[in-house]
Structure 1
């Protein structure tokens, strides 16, 4: 009798998940946004209570990002394909990592510097393989779809950084560079999401990578929120005053919500679509 109960557990659980997904699918965009916000708030509360050192959340975010890049390295070296992968997003990622690494040596050298260095090396490898790999691999690069200009992202971010940057005691160029890094990181995934426009499905390793970015961005956003709510004096002094702290939080929120839609369809694909991520035309 016990074995019979166990045999029915799997299908019952599967049916429950399918029913939940179907219910979510019938909700309006406003209802989905409200549910997403409630889930994010609940997760923040759980993290607040159970994670004693909230700085660990940023370390988790950087580690997840590094793992995501590792997925791309596997895709390029084992699958011999860069189909669906945006070179422009990788270049923007390398730019903000290089800026953050340079500023870290001047402003705050710690474990984050090591993680940034590892991620930058992995990202540089991805860029190199896409641009200089075998002819067969380069032929899979969808250059026509990767059409968003890097300058279109960098120039506005630099302008905003000149206006809103930290008010600490460091030299002005480093403060502007640090702000530029924060803003570029917030929108570096846009060329990748732009490539998804019109695609009915997303290649699995690229999907894993973008989902990892979404998870990393959430933990990073949680780190900033919880640190500020805790009244961390070191963090507040590092952020400075004026417009900059608001822009930091806004950047974290923007990059989290930029990826929220994709993460929803990713999870939905893992639950009901056999791991295939299917996007509506207007998801990005």
Structure 2
């Protein structure tokens, strides 16, 4: 059963990565995808799989390690190219200071680990960093107040991946009476971050802010006054904040539009 839970978790992780790549490829903008989170995940995989050159477990294991590193690098490249082609200033919103995550995780790994060896410290560092690597993504969504459906699906599937890993560790503890303290700690922290974001999501809906529509719908594009009139009317009904398109140099008075 433990192996089955781990397989499901690994497959969910792959599905989450595929959804993210699909999100990047099919949409014209990557404004709601944090490249900083993807950089952190790339650091996680590189640190965790340094044993790729020293330890051979199986072809499947080696292929998964190479795949995670390769896909994370590809994701960063695609986000960078898409942002550059669309002249998007990603750093304006994606402004989370990732050094405040990397440095504390590295220091913690030096002092709290199973064994003070190079590979073990790197593996421990990757566990701690993975637990908080999603924070820039959540910070970005909260800051811009919107996200595509595929981005939300990516985050949900990624959360399910961690839930199945936590379930696996719980089953292992029940059956064997032991568990990996570092892995469980990292999993609990990461799952708690997801739950906190979900709580924020639900609270805003319950207060009538209709954050669900704001998060899932595409950003409003003010391409014309007629288009603005229709969307502004909808916004006034559902309390969805208007997010202007910065490519438009002139200002439009929404109140005047609504009176027309």
TM-score of the aligned structures, taking structure 2 as reference length: 0.70
CA distance in 2, matches of 1:249, 1:164: 13
Structure 1 residue 82, shift from structure 2 partner: 0.9
Q: Which runs of no fewer than 5 residues in structure 1 stay unpaired?
A: 1-52, 240-244, 280-284
Q: Is the 8 A contact 2:163 2:191 kept in 1?
A: yes
Confirm whether residue 81 of structure 1 aligns to residue 29 of structure 2. Answer: yes
CA distance in 2, matches of 1:83, 1:121: 23
Confirm whether residue 59 of structure 1 aligns to residue 7 of structure 2. Answer: yes
Q: How does 1:100-115 map to 2 (within 5 A)?
A: 100-106=48-54, 109-110=57-58, 111-115=60-64
Q: Note the aligned Cα RMSD (angstroms).
A: 2.9
Structure 1 residue 199, shift from structure 2 partner: 3.9
Structure 1 residue 142, shift from structure 2 partner: 2.9
CA distance in 2, matches of 1:206, 1:65: 14
Closer/same/farther in 2, CA of residues 77 and 156 from structure 1, 3 Å limit: same
Closer/same/farther in 2, CA of residues 135 and 186 from structure 1, 3 Å limit: closer
Confirm whether residue 120 of structure 1 aligns to residue 65 of structure 2. Answer: no
CA distance in 1, matches of 2:129, 2:137: 14
Closer/same/farther in 2, CA of residues 67 and 263 from structure 1, 3 Å limit: farther
Q: Which runs of no fewer than 5 residues in structure 2 stay unpaired?
A: 217-260
Q: Is the 8 A contact 1:225 1:249 kept in 2?
A: no
Give the corresponding residue for 2:195.
260
CA distance in 2, matches of 1:120, 1:155: 21
Q: Is the 8 A contact 2:83 2:90 kept in 1?
A: no
Q: Is the 8 A contact 2:101 2:129 kept in 1?
A: yes
Structure 1 residue 206, shift from structure 2 partner: 1.4
Give the corresponding residue for 1:250.
185
Confirm whether residue 183 of structure 1 aligns to residue 134 of structure 2. Answer: no
Structure 1 residue 92, shift from structure 2 partner: 0.6
Structure 1 residue 200, shift from structure 2 partner: 3.5
Secondary structure (helix, strand or coil) at the match of 2:142 reads coil
Structure 1 residue 262, shift from structure 2 partner: 3.9
CA distance in 1, matches of 2:19, 2:126: 24
TM-score of the aligned structures, taking structure 1 as reference length: 0.64
Structure 1 residue 203, shift from structure 2 partner: 1.9
Closer/same/farther in 2, CA of residues 218 and 227 from structure 1, 3 Å limit: same
What is the count of residue pairs matched by the alignment?
Answer: 209
CA distance in 2, matches of 1:77, 1:56: 32
Structure 1 residue 150, shift from structure 2 partner: 2.4
Q: Is the 8 A contact 1:211 1:263 kept in 2?
A: no
CA distance in 2, matches of 1:62, 1:206: 19
CA distance in 1, matches of 2:214, 2:14: 22
CA distance in 1, matches of 2:56, 2:191: 25
Closer/same/farther in 2, CA of residues 165 and 277 from structure 1, 3 Å limit: farther
Q: Is the 8 A contact 1:214 1:256 kept in 2?
A: yes
CA distance in 2, matches of 1:78, 1:62: 24
